[in-house]
Amino acid sequence: MRVYNFAAGPSMLPLEVLEEAKASLTDYNNSGMSVMELTHRGKHYEPIHNECISLVRELLGVSDNYEVLLLQGGASTQFEAVPLNLLTSFEDKADYIVTGNFSSKAYKEAKKYGDIALAGSSEDKNYTYIPEYTVRDDAKYLHITSNNTIFGLEWNSFPDVKMPIACDMSSDIMSRKIDVDKFGVIYAGAQKNLGPAGVTLVIVKKDLLEQANPLCPSMLKWALHAKNNSLYNTPPTFAIYMMMLNLRHLKKIGGVEAIEKINREKAKILYDFIDNSGFYKNPVKECDRSIMNVPFTTPNADLDAACVKGAEAAGLVSLKGHRLVGGLRASIYNAMPVDGVKALVEYLKKFEQENK
């Protein structure tokens, strides 16, 4: 029996996508081989790779001014790749706005490679709001994390600055319409909205490709991967195949514009219930709430644990909050249907009635 999986990642995938992958698992496109066995330089894999890149461009409206790269190492590897590619020397400046655990990690990694400053932070209130910020005029780039998976905090409008913005969009990419042209670099681990873990998407403006620090390792150098169509080394072929199928599915149901409407509907259902309950609480400033990750608590930790346990028995899994926050967290990425959120709300109503 399929359950409703509210995990922060790896997250659930559309059943239609999984069924299609299952059908070609042992024999892809009459090749006599599994899709996992295809050589990355052969005639069967090449169309998969190129279609995946093409779908990213189409669904996000990525212009020819940008390269689309399919890499490995997760978004965390890009915490170092960003400064190594965008800062020519260790004297170059970059500014970071910290709105949670992952943006904090990115800031700490970058400090090894240049003059890195903290432009703003909401750590003082446990990352429950988007902070004010001050950027240096001569900073080479500004780094932000568009959505915080752990704390449920999201940039609903992006900074208006002169320098390129480097943005970690791991947990909300493809969930809402964005203007790619506002960014110098967008990067994202796949395991939230794009596909299974194993492939990392990087969208980088072409005019930023040739300024890397001379010490940048080859495997982190965006220009090298761009010149080789992300085939410099063996890519994560199966993860890219799954990502391609998932993006096909997104296109089929109406693309990013259509899924944004669904995502906002899901978030409204859940936030409205929490806000109107005297039992559950969400700590995030209302205008800065994430439409992807909804943390909340019951009146005490024992009830939190009981609520998670009861939900699992009801087929609503992975609702335990992150250890840094506690409580519960519902991650309602693209593949989570409206019915899944409605089922969660009905369970929470019942749990509240039984535990008041």
Read off the CATH number of the domain in which 331 is found: 3.90.1150.10
DSSP symbol at 286:
G
Please state the pTM of the whole predicted model: 0.96
- Domain CATH number, residue 106: 3.40.640.10
Query: Residue 41's pLDDT is what?
Result: 85
Residue 300 class from Cβ within 10 Å (0-12 exposed, 13-18 middle, 19+ buried)?
A: exposed
Rounded mean pLDDT of 321-329? Answer: 93
Strands 66-71 and 200-205, how do they pair? antiparallel
Per-residue model confidence as pLDDT tens digits over 137-156: 999 999 999 999 999 999 99
What residue numbers bound the domain in which 307 lies? 4-12+256-355
Per-residue model confidence as pLDDT tens digits over 207-256: 999 999 999 999 999 999 999 999 999 999 999 999 999 999 999 999 99
Query: For residue 297, what are its two tokens?
Result: 């608590």
Beta-ladder partners of 115: 93
pLDDT band of residue 39 (cuts 50, 70, 90) is confident
Q: Indicate if 186 and 299 belong to the same structural domain.
A: no
Query: Residue 43's pLDDT is what?
Result: 85
Query: What is d(CA 106, CA 100) in angstroms, rounded to the nearest whole number?
Result: 10
Q: Indicate if 203 and 339 belong to the same structural domain.
A: no
Q: Indicate if 170 and 313 belong to the same structural domain.
A: no
Q: Indicate if 292 and 172 belong to the same structural domain.
A: no
Query: What is d(CA 270, CA 342) in angstroms, rounded to the nearest whole number?
Result: 8
Per-residue model confidence as pLDDT tens digits over 44-69: 899 999 999 999 999 999 999 999 99
